[in-house]
A and B are shown apart, each in its own frame.
Chain A
């Protein structure tokens, strides 16, 4: 890391803190200043795993609850989205019949799915997971389908000349050839899953970063809203970087 790569982001961070301070002292008096935010949040950060009650816990403990929930929804999204993507990419008939459905379902907001999930499952936890899965699966579906359709004809010709069986064609050529696309889909899906967690926790009031955020808003502890927002951003960034590393490994082949 060059000094430049450290100094410039620090500079922009300083600018953000400055604007934030200025705002809290002028137009938005209810917005806690950076200093006040730190003072009111330090226990949550310095003892990140404490637990005083259902909704009063260290920030990493809360983030962990959210991550577990996201993990479940995300795995469900991959389990549904990957085969759906392969089918869409492989079969013209399947593509023609289901692509309109995919395009229709894709832009629906998590806020719209969640109440439906609550109606179906009667419980907040499965409803949240259902919502995460339904919102997060589309990048996986679409990237997998695109990946399958953009496999070089040369590779497919190798399989044709060798008269590979359908199973071998899939496992030896189609799946490995589309893997880089599939993993791009996985990375985007994880980003979406994390995006959805806040909304679903806010609406269901379950313990986690999003639930905590909403509760603290209702309790007028505004500094903890900022704490939650920063945590959500940090975890999201970490997840994206992690998936980026995984993806790079697959692209390096």
Chain B
């Protein structure tokens, strides 16, 4: 059995205008320390998939087993970096990260927890902004706080729901570089949800395309045969990069709904 196993996950939403079948049987398997990306058009059910794995929403069918334990409720072992940052605006950067550190490390002394919090803030390069509130930060800085908070949960698997989609291209690139560096040091198990094929190839070991809904399912896995550590420069010129990109784009195009 894989470290994280998702089997036959299905979810529909009942609205006044009828039932929407969002996910129609998603299967996914992740080994420990793998970085997997799920790519799909917006509106194809990516966020629903994350909410299900996080346990924030209950599935209609299927199951999720993480490290041998079935997922039934949310918990910090499936840490999330939310799409809209979801930083608490009345808390400083420190307090936002400390909330997660304190929640997960109840056994540690206060001084130790403070050290952990400061370490995480330093890891995402925000030490000078420690005592600022989210509204005083740029979008990129906010998302780095969200990443620090996600890591603070010491998750068995870190779920990232389009973490950089709200950022401009340059900020996005620097956040991606940061993520590459952090992942290189920590080797966490990560599921990255994105609508950016290049982002997926740059960051992930393996990519699953998500067919557009209704009833979205994952397409065949595409291995990214690029060596690590990866650097952004010249990456797109490598044959492995172009091969992976072509495979994803072809799959998404072939399964596109007729617009």
Contact = CB atoms under 8 A, between A and B. Distances in A.
Interface of A: 152, 154-155, 157-158, 160-164, 168, 172-173, 176-177, 179, 253
Given A154-B82, A172-B99, A253-B133, A161 B88 contact: no
A253 B74 CA distance: 28
A158 B99 CA distance: 10
B74 A160 contact: yes
B76 A163 contact: yes
Contacts of A253: 89-90, 133
Nearest to A176: B90
Contacts of B88: 155, 158, 172-173, 176-177
Contacts of B104: 162
Contacts of A163: 74-76, 103
B80 interface: yes
Nearest to B79: A161
B80 A161 contact: yes
Most buried by B among A161, A176, A177, A179: A161
B76 to A, nearest CB: 6
Contact of A154 (B75, B78, B84): B84
A157 B75 contact: no
Contacts of B248: none
Given A172-B99, A173-B88, A253-B89, A160 B82 contact: no
Contacts of B133: 253
B100 to A, nearest CB: 6
A4 to B, nearest CB: 33
Contacts of B89: 253
B242 interface: no
B78 A161 contact: yes
Contacts of B153: 161-162
Contacts of A164: 103
Contacts of A154: 82, 84, 86
Given A157-B74, A253-B133, A162 B86 contact: no
B90 A158 contact: no
Contacts of A152: 86
Contact of B100 (A162, A173, A179): A162
Interface string B87-121: 01111000000011001100000000000000000
Nearest to A162: B103
B99 A162 contact: yes
Interface residues of B, number: 22
Most buried by A among B78, B88, B91: B88
A161 B99 contact: no
Contact of A157 (B76, B86, B90, B100): B86
A195 B106 CA distance: 50
30 contacts: A152-B86, A154-B84, A155-B86, A157-B56, A157-B86, A158-B99, A160-B56, A160-B73, A161-B56, A161-B75, A161-B76, A161-B79, A161-B80, A162-B76, A162-B100, A162-B103, A162-B153, A163-B74, A164-B103, A168-B103, A172-B99, A173-B88, A176-B90, A176-B91, A177-B88, A177-B90, A179-B90, A253-B89, A253-B90, A253-B133
B54 interface: yes
Interface string B63-79: 00000000001111011
Nearest to A172: B99
Given A162-B99, A172-B88, A253-B89, 8 more contacts: A157-B74, A158-B88, A161-B54, A161-B78, A161-B79, A162-B104, A163-B103, A177-B88
Contacts of A158: 82, 86, 88, 99
A161 B80 CA distance: 8
Contacts of B56: 157, 160-161
- Return the 10 tightest CB-CB contacts between A and B, nearest first: A162-B103, A154-B86, A176-B90, A160-B74, A253-B90, A161-B74, A158-B86, A157-B56, A161-B80, A162-B76
A114 to B, nearest CB: 40
A16 to B, nearest CB: 43
Contacts of B82: 154, 157-158
A161 B104 CA distance: 11
B76, B86, B100 — which one has the most chain A CB atoms within 10 A of its CB? B86
Contacts of A176: 88, 90-91
A251 to B, nearest CB: 11
A154 B47 CA distance: 13
Contacts of B100: 162
Contacts of B73: 160
Nearest to B83: A154
Nearest to B150: A161
Interface in B42-66: 54, 56
